[in-house]
C-alpha cells in the first residue's frame, strides 16, 4: 500500500514537472511572439504620437519652404507615387510572365533550378547594391541621368522577386481540374493559360502587385543615386526629371538638414505619411488575400 502510494506520488510529480516545463516554454514562446507585436506597436505609437500634429491639409498639398524647415511634402508624395507605379509597370509583367513559365511550362531541371536560384539571389541583393547598379547601368551607361525612369527601372528589378513569388502562389492555387477541363475540350496550352488559368489566378496576383508597390514606395538606398534629389522646386514634367521622395526626404531631414532639431516634427510627419501608405497597402493585401482564401 505504502509502496503504491509512493509510486503514484513519483508519477504525479514527474507529470507535474513535465507540465510545468511545458508551461514555462509555452510562455516563453508566447512572450517572443508578443515582443514582435509590441515592437510594431511601439514604432507606430511613437510615429503617430509625434507626427500627428504635423499632418494637415497644407502639409500634404504644399511644397517645402524656407530651405525645407517649413511647408509640406507634396513633391515627395508625388515622386514616391511616380517611382513606385513606374516600378510596378516593370515588375508586374516580368513577374507574372516568369511565374507563368515556372509554374505552367517548366519541367524540373537544371535551368529551372538556376532561374529559381537567381530569383532568390535577386531577392537578397542589398538595396544599396541595386543603387550602385542603377547608377552604373541606367544613370551612367544608358545615359538616363538621375531621373524617375532610372529609379523606376532600378526599383522594378528590386521588387521583381516579390511579384514572382506572389504570382506563383496565385497560379499554384488554381486547381488542376481547371487546366484538365480546358485541355480536354481541345484548347491548346496557351488558350488554357490565357483564358482559364490567368483569369482564375489574377485576383490573387493583385496582392503581389500591392506588395511590390509598397516595397518600392519604402525603398531608400536604391533611389539615392538613381532618382532622388534633396530639393526640387517644381513637380517633375517628364520621366527624365529627378524627383523628391518620401523615404529619402526623411533621411535627408533627419541627417543632413540645416536644422535637424527644428524640423523634427516634419520628419515625424513625413515618416507617419510613409508608414500610413506602406502599412495601409500591406494591410489591404492581407485582408484581400484572406477574403480570397475564404471564397475558395
Residues 163 to 222 in contact with another protein, rule: CB under 8 A? 164, 188-190, 211, 214-215, 217-221
d(CA 207, CA 9): 57
Q: What is the DSSP letter of 227?
A: T
If one asks whether residue 135 binds another protein (CB under 8 A), the answer comes out as yes
Whole-number minimum distance, CB 285 to another protein, in Å? 9
* Residue 132 · residue 212 · CB < 8 Å: no
Interacting span for another protein (CB under 8 A) from 56-64, 69-77, 132-140, 178-186: 132-140
H or E segment and range at residue 10: helix 2-51
Whole-number minimum distance, CB 6 to another protein, in Å? 21
The dihedral built from the CA positions of residue 251, 252, 253 and 254, taken in this order, carries a sign that is positive
Q: Which residue lies nearer to another protein by CB, 48 or 238?
A: 48
If one asks whether residue 30 binds another protein (CB under 8 A), the answer comes out as yes
Interacting span for another protein (CB under 8 A) from 57-65, 94-102, 178-186, 233-241: 94-102
If one asks whether residue 120 binds another protein (CB under 8 A), the answer comes out as yes
Interacting span for another protein (CB under 8 A) from 60-68, 178-186, 231-239, 251-259: 251-259
What is the CB-side half-sphere exposure of residue 60 using CA atoms within 13 A?
Answer: 11
If one asks whether residue 32 binds another protein (CB under 8 A), the answer comes out as yes
H or E segment and range at residue 57: helix 57-61
Q: Contact with another protein (CB under 8 A): which of 11, 101, 202, 240?
A: 101
At residue 107, φ and ψ (nearest 5 deg) are -105, 150
Paired strand residues for 71: 64
Contact map string, positions 253 to 282, toward another protein, x by CB under 8 A: -xx--------x--xx--x--xx--xx--x
Residue 65, helix vs strand vs coil: strand
Interacting span for another protein (CB under 8 A) from 14-22, 71-79, 173-181, 231-239: 14-22
If one asks whether residue 36 binds another protein (CB under 8 A), the answer comes out as yes
> Cell numbers at residue 280, please?
495601409
Whole-number minimum distance, CB 236 to another protein, in Å? 20
If one asks whether residue 25 binds another protein (CB under 8 A), the answer comes out as yes
If one asks whether residue 89 binds another protein (CB under 8 A), the answer comes out as no
If one asks whether residue 48 binds another protein (CB under 8 A), the answer comes out as no
If one asks whether residue 125 binds another protein (CB under 8 A), the answer comes out as yes
H or E segment and range at residue 247: helix 246-255
At residue 243, φ and ψ (nearest 5 deg) are -135, 165
Whole-number minimum distance, CB 146 to another protein, in Å? 11
* String of DSSP letters for 139-200: IIIS---SSHHHHHHHHHHHHHHHHHHHHHHHHHTS-HHHHHHHHHTT--HHHHIIIIIHHH
Which residues in 140-159 contact another protein (CB under 8 A)?
140-141, 157
At residue 64, φ and ψ (nearest 5 deg) are -65, 150
* String of DSSP letters for 115-142: HHHHHHHHHHS-HHHHHHHHIIIIIIIS
Q: Contact with another protein (CB under 8 A): which of 28, 186, 234, 296?
A: 28
Amino acid at each position: 500500500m505504502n509502496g503504491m502510494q509512493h509510486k503514484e506520488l513519483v508519477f504525479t510529480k514527474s507529470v507535474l514537472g513535465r507540465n510545468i516545463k511545458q508551461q514555462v516554454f509555452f510562455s516563453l514562446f508566447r512572450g517572443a511572439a508578443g515582443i514582435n507585436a509590441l515592437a510594431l506597436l511601439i514604432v507606430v505609437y511613437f510615429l503617430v504620437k509625434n507626427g500627428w500634429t504635423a499632418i494637415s491639409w497644407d502639409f500634404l498639398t504644399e511644397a517645402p519652404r524656407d530651405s525645407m524647415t517649413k511647408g509640406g511634402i507634396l513633391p515627395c508624395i508625388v515622386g514616391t507615387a511616380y517611382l513606385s507605379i513606374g516600378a510596378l509597370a516593370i515588375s508586374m509583367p516580368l513577374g507574372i510572365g516568369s511565374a507563368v513559365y515556372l509554374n505552367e511550362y517548366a519541367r524540373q531541371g537544371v535551368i529551372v533550378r538556376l532561374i529559381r536560384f537567381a530569383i532568390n539571389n535577386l531577392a537578397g541583393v542589398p538595396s544599396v547594391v541595386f543603387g550602385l547598379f542603377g547608377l552604373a547601368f541606367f544613370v551612367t551607361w544608358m545615359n538616363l541621368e538621375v531621373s524617375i525612369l532610372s529609379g523606376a527601372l532600378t526599383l522594378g528589378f528590386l521588387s521583381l522577386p516579390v511579384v514572382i513569388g506572389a504570382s506563383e502562389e496565385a497560379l499554384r492555387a488554381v486547381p488542376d481540374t481547371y487546366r484538365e477541363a480546358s485541355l480536354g475540350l481541345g484548347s491548346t496550352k496557351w488558350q488554357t493559360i490565357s483564358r482559364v488559368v490567368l483569369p482564375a489566378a489574377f485576383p490573387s496576383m493583385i496582392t503581389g502587385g500591392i506588395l511590390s508597390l509598397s516595397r518600392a514606395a519604402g525603398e531608400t538606398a536604391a533611389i539615392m543615386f538613381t532618382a532622388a534629389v534633396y530639393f526640387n522646386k517644381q513637380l517633375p514634367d517628364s520621366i527624365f526629371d529627378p524627383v523628391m521622395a518620401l523615404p529619402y526626404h526623411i533621411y535627408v531631414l533627419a541627417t543632413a538638414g540645416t536644422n535637424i532639431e527644428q524640423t523634427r516634427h516634419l520628419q515625424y510627419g513625413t515618416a507617419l505619411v510613409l508608414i500610413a501608405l506602406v502599412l495601409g497597402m500591406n494591410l489591404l493585401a492581407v485582408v484581400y488575400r484572406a477574403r480570397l482564401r475564404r471564397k475558395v
